[in-house]
Amino acid sequence: MSAAQFTLLVTAGIAAGLAGSIAGLASLFSYPALLAAGLPATAANVTNTVSLAVSSIGSVHGSRPELVGQAATARRLGVICAVGGAAGAALLLATPPGVFQRIVPFLVGGAAVVMLVRRPTPDALAVPTSEMSDRRRRLTLVGVAAVAVYGGYFGAAAGVLMLALLLATTPDSLIRINALKNVLLGLANFIAALGFAVFGPVSWSIALPLTIGLLLGSRAGPAVARRLPADLLRIGIALAGLGLAVKLGWDVFVPDQP
């Protein structure tokens, strides 16, 4: 590996770590960098997941103030994410590539649109009727499981999907929900990464510089997010998610020109 390639991967990792811990958009930077480094799509996918799993240590550590009081929720949803991440990794290793990629742009775009819509007030979410509360709880559990499976399988913009889901169903602030998202996706990625490390085509030499950058960026991300106005952060994440949805859709549906 050349010095220029090493620097490119570290730089992309820093950008991905910041984007991932703040907005759930790490793969917007890390996945294309791995493709540019010469990895085929499947190898880039599994290498990306391994690097993201390691980098989640930085984002969770940096989010400690926002995680106070969320231990019970993190444990309950974390078990679901661990199982979902394992299922997603098994799907990737057992099925032909491209099964999920065609619906990904629509999922990401839909999540971004949901984030653009102003949330109900926390009081409205926090004091529902019993029936609404049970329905919201079931929706949260099913949605978290689905996003975790997707995260283990492919993962690009899984953070946006998880963030949009939790914002729609959880009576808490954006910055605290973002911290919870970092924990949940970190678990899904970690379990998936264990499977990929044993059975997947991980490029360890390329994963190393990317992971170094991801650790640096993800550690700084929560501190940056703390200083941004909540509405500005929400709108910025949504617009970036729409941009990623267009990019993913272009890659899937527009054939390469000869």
Q: Where are the domains of the chain?
A: 3-253
pLDDT in tens, the chain (258 residues): 788 889 989 998 888 888 777 766 777 778 888 888 888 877 888 898 888 888 788 778 877 888 888 888 889 999 999 999 999 999 888 877 666 567 767 766 776 776 676 554 444 444 454 544 777 788 888 989 998 998 888 776 788 788 888 887 877 887 888 888 889 988 998 999 998 888 888 999 999 999 999 888 888 777 776 777 767 766 776 787 788 778 778 877 886 655
* Amino acid at site 131: E
Q: pTM of the entire structure?
A: 0.76
